[in-house]
Chain A
Amino acid sequence: MKQFNGKVLFLDRSDINTDEIIPARYLTEISKEALKPYLLEDLELQGFDVKKDIEPAQVVISRANFGCGSSREHAPWAFEVNDINLVIGESFARIFKQNMFNCGMMAVELAPETIDEIFSTFKGKETTLETDLASGTFTLSSGSVKKEIPFSISGFDRALVEAEGWVGYADKHY
């Protein structure tokens, strides 16, 4: 199973699309690893520095409708090869969310007010997140500030995470 812990990258905007996550000009690559340098290359967001902010991050927290647009699984792959296996947001585009779990990664939805609270407490501060999948708890910490946030994923999504993706699950069941 993949790891869902680490330093948080905050992307404070809704509707971050898959062209911003990995531009189409890189879709000519046929290996996941080749996508590594290009993650979020076209994202223009105040306070976000693509050259500095990606390398240390293992978790992304964003807003609504994350991953909208193209069906390209290159978007989750670009995160995966940068050791980011968890994206948390208010909501996700259907295909992006499915692609994440299909790769054994997680796209977890939290209530808008919880996301607001996370941004107002932690954005701009060095923050780490720990995931307890068994109890369904995220623990966010920054200095002395610590917050436990319950989450839930569906039984199917959990099965995909445990099977490390849909290919493994489907091959066993169908």
Chain B
Amino acid sequence: MGKTIAEKIFDSHRVDNPFGDIHVIRLDAVFCHEITTPVAINDLVSRGMDRVFDPKKIKAVIDHVTPAKDSKTALQGKILRDWARRHDIIDFFDIGKNGVCHAIFPEKGFVRPGYTIIMGDSHTCTHGAFGAFAAGVGTTDLEVGILKGVCAFHYPKSIKVVVDGELPKGVFAKDVILAIIGRLGVNGATNKVIEFEGSVVDSMSMEARMTLCNMAIEAGGTCGICAPDMTTVDYLWDFIKDDYKDKDSALADFRTYTADADAEYDQVIRMNAAELSPMVTFGYKPDQVKPVKDMEGTAVHQVYIGSCTNGRLEDLRIAAEILKGKTISPELRAIVSPATPDIFKKALDEGIIKIFMDAGFCVTNPTCGACLGMSNGVLAEGEVCASTTNRNFNGRMGKGGMVHLMSPATAAETAVAGVIKNSSMYKG
């Protein structure tokens, strides 16, 4: 019987199979941030086990609340910083060099096809875009990962989602994944990996694939995953060029982590890209999605463009294309947070930041803050945010606030219109 991508990764990383379908796998990387790691650090210290399995395989960043907003968040940063220093964790990204974890770690070349990665953050599934098995875990799994370099999972079952055809202009990866979540439901992929394929995925950039995989968790999925191809090789080439004689040999190596033709899936979903349109969420669950046209005219108080879902350069370029020469509606305020310093610098060089500022956007440093209502754009009670983030739970961006998830194109057009509106890029 053939194997899925996740099965191949598990089979090459198994350390133990202690019970039934529980497999303990060796980890290639453990990612850490300042919200979920400090408790693990403190617990290791109190147990007299303040060690790390391999400082080179641990990557850490302060990203959720940065710069610190108060003494408590300053202490969280300090605990992570002191720990990174004490254990010679070289890849620690402190204030000034820090970005949203699921944007900065891939950007630094830390994610490779076939890797196994955990992080104490549910959107770790993002890194499956590279053909890796990457899963969000809690602090205890993280703690054991830091100490032992292993993690236990159920042997992965996969759902295959095939998106074929060509996306209409103005329809983006965010719209595709919202449509998929709408179809699967918020627990349709629980305990499963979602393998994305089809001509639409093949033609997507790594940025777009990350957007797709990022929201696998919103359908309950353990990881989203895309087979590695030449797009993956091109993205990683600067980091791997000394390891391979040319790109073709890198690709041949990476292709180890593609699914077999006779792999077995729990479920196969086929979607015709031509039938997709810009999507937006309407309730408090990410599977409550509608075409944007059905929500047009909904009043908005704040527009937010950023996050691990849609804060990458490609996203900012799309939004800037719409905002160029325009100003945001006086009915709302708008915030953009480039997801990493590198993205920020490139956006400056390309004149994108100026376009945002001329339009009336507040440009913040890279941070997760607003997405989960911790800082840099928290909503007041009764306010509505048009957001490129990933969760519309009740109160997510601030107690009593409402979030409508959408693509950067729809968010930018909404900022100009003052109400939810389909982007001018979409001619449907």
Chain A residues within 8 Å of B, Cβ to Cβ: 15, 17, 19-20, 23-25, 27-32, 42, 44, 64-65, 68-73, 76, 91-95, 98-99, 102-103, 154-156, 159, 165-167, 170-171, 173-174
Q: Residue on A with the closest CB to B144?
A: A170
Q: Residue on B with the closest CB to A90?
A: B187
Taking a contact as CB atoms under 8 Å apart, the answer to whether B138 and A99 are in contact is yes
CB distance from A42 to the nearest CB of B (A): 5
Taking a contact as CB atoms under 8 Å apart, the answer to whether A95 and B38 are in contact is no
Taking a contact as CB atoms under 8 Å apart, the answer to whether B18 and A173 are in contact is yes
Taking a contact as CB atoms under 8 Å apart, the answer to whether A71 and B140 are in contact is no
Chain B residues within 8 Å of A, Cβ to Cβ: 15-16, 18-20, 22, 24, 35-36, 38-39, 42-43, 47, 49, 64-65, 70, 72-73, 75-76, 79, 120-122, 124, 136-141, 143-144, 147-148, 150, 152, 186-187, 190-191, 220, 222, 285, 372-374, 391, 393-396, 399
15 CB contacts below 8 A, A to B, read A19-B396, A28-B35, A28-B65, A28-B70, A65-B220, A70-B372, A71-B36, A71-B137, A73-B39, A93-B190, A95-B136, A98-B138, A170-B148, A170-B150, A174-B150
CB distance from B306 to the nearest CB of A (A): 16
Q: Known: A73-B140, A76-B138, A170-B148. Is A23-B122 also a contact (CB below 8 A)? A: no
Taking a contact as CB atoms under 8 Å apart, the answer to whether B394 and A23 are in contact is no
Taking a contact as CB atoms under 8 Å apart, the answer to whether B186 and A65 are in contact is yes
A65 contacts across to B, CB distance below 8 A: 186-187, 190, 220
Contacts A19-B395, A27-B35 given; 11 further ones with Cβ under 8 A? A24-B372, A42-B394, A65-B187, A71-B120, A71-B122, A71-B137, A76-B138, A154-B20, A156-B22, A174-B15, A174-B148
CB distance from B190 to the nearest CB of A (A): 6
Q: Residue on A with the closest CB to B149?
A: A174
Counting from the closest, the 9 A-B pairs by CB-CB distance are A73-B138, A99-B138, A102-B140, A28-B72, A65-B187, A156-B19, A73-B139, A155-B19, A71-B122
B143 contacts across to A, CB distance below 8 A: 167
Q: Known: A15-B285, A17-B393, A155-B19. Is A27-B140 also a contact (CB below 8 A)? A: no
Q: How far is the CA of A118 from the CA of B242 in the complex (A)?
A: 62
Q: How far is the CA of A159 from the CA of B16 in the complex (A)?
A: 15
CB distance from A165 to the nearest CB of B (A): 6
Taking a contact as CB atoms under 8 Å apart, the answer to whether B144 and A167 are in contact is yes
Taking a contact as CB atoms under 8 Å apart, the answer to whether B72 and A167 are in contact is no
Taking a contact as CB atoms under 8 Å apart, the answer to whether A155 and B39 are in contact is no
Taking a contact as CB atoms under 8 Å apart, the answer to whether B391 and A69 are in contact is yes
Taking a contact as CB atoms under 8 Å apart, the answer to whether A27 and B374 are in contact is yes
Q: How far is the CA of A98 from the CA of B22 in the complex (A)?
A: 12
* B138: contacting residue among A20, A69, A72, CB under 8 A: A72
Q: How far is the CA of A71 from the CA of B134 in the complex (A)?
A: 13
Q: How far is the CA of A20 from the CA of B285 in the complex (A)?
A: 12
* B72: contacting residue among A15, A29, A68, A170, CB under 8 A: A29
Most chain A Cβ neighbours within 10 Å, of B38, B76, B136, B141: B141
B20 contacts across to A, CB distance below 8 A: 154-156
B138 contacts across to A, CB distance below 8 A: 71-73, 76, 95, 98-99, 102
Q: How far is the CA of A31 from the CA of B24 in the complex (A)?
A: 28
Most chain B Cβ neighbours within 10 Å, of A69, A159, A166: A69
Most chain B Cβ neighbours within 10 Å, of A32, A94, A99, A171: A94
* B152: contacting residue among A29, A166, A167, CB under 8 A: A166
B16 contacts across to A, CB distance below 8 A: 173-174
CB distance from B141 to the nearest CB of A (A): 6
Most chain B Cβ neighbours within 10 Å, of A15, A20, A31, A174: A174
